[in-house]
Amino acid sequence: MTNSSSSSTSLPNLNSNNSSSNILDSVASNIYIFDSIHINNDVKEYRVTRKSKTIIYPFDYILYIILALHIFYLVINDYFVLNSFMFILLSIVIIIRLFLKLFIVREESLTVIRELGVQLRKKYYFIGESTRFIEKPKIQSIIINEGISRYRVTFYMAFLVEGKQKMVLAFDDLIPRINVLLKIYRGTRSLMYGEPEE
């Protein structure tokens, strides 16, 4: 995850209220919403949003209940709570889980600007957002790459950028399915290089 920009160029705040298509796409066990937003003839935004509004899962509730029951047990038996190994262990696990939730991505977007380049943006649940802009002259190629993750094949859209050893991935946290990636890929190439979208 990179918060740095490959260019010092800043983009205007693009208002994207006019959605041209909404497609529900299920990835693994999570449901995402895909939006293709036509801002004008030179700017298009592709957005993948996590549909679930909650980041507290049943396992978290189980941990909270166990911790509460353990504290109740310690209090009624006149034990000092901080001397309990179980209390300290549960508290550490809960704190670590809450800390990791700070970095859960709520939304990823790719804004394509015909003459300037592309802006990649990630919005998190708690820590705001990060953006990265890649200038059009620095983009050597736009590809769809295949990778293996957790015993399954996943597809990534990537930019080969001049002067960078690694590919710059788009939608690397929410990872849309291949049919959505192809729509984004074709739309991006169409706007950037004038290729046919279909």
Q: How many CB atoms lie within 10 A of CB 155?
A: 19
Instruction: State the Cα–Cα distance between residues 128 and 107, nearest whole angstrom.
Output: 11
Phi-psi region of 194 (alpha: psi -120 to 50; beta: other; left: phi over 0): left
Question: What residues pair up with 122 in beta bridges, in sequence order?
Answer: 108, 130
Which has the higher per-residue pLDDT, 30 or 124?
A: 124
**pLDDT exceeding 70 applies to what percent of the chain?**
84
pLDDT tens-digit readout, 49-76 = 888 777 888 899 999 999 999 999 998 9
End-to-end CA distance of the chain: give it in Å, rounded: 32
Domains of the chain, residue spans = 21-54+104-193, 58-101
pLDDT tops 60 at residue 7 = no
- How confident is the model over 130-159, as a mean pLDDT? 89
pLDDT tens-digit readout, 12-49 = 444 444 444 443 333 333 578 888 888 888 899 999 98
Where is 91: in which H helix or E strand? helix 85-101
Strands 43-50 and 30-40: antiparallel
Residue 189's pLDDT is what? 92
Average per-residue pLDDT in the chain? 81
Sequence-distant (6+) residues with CB within 8 A of 103 are 1, 124, 127
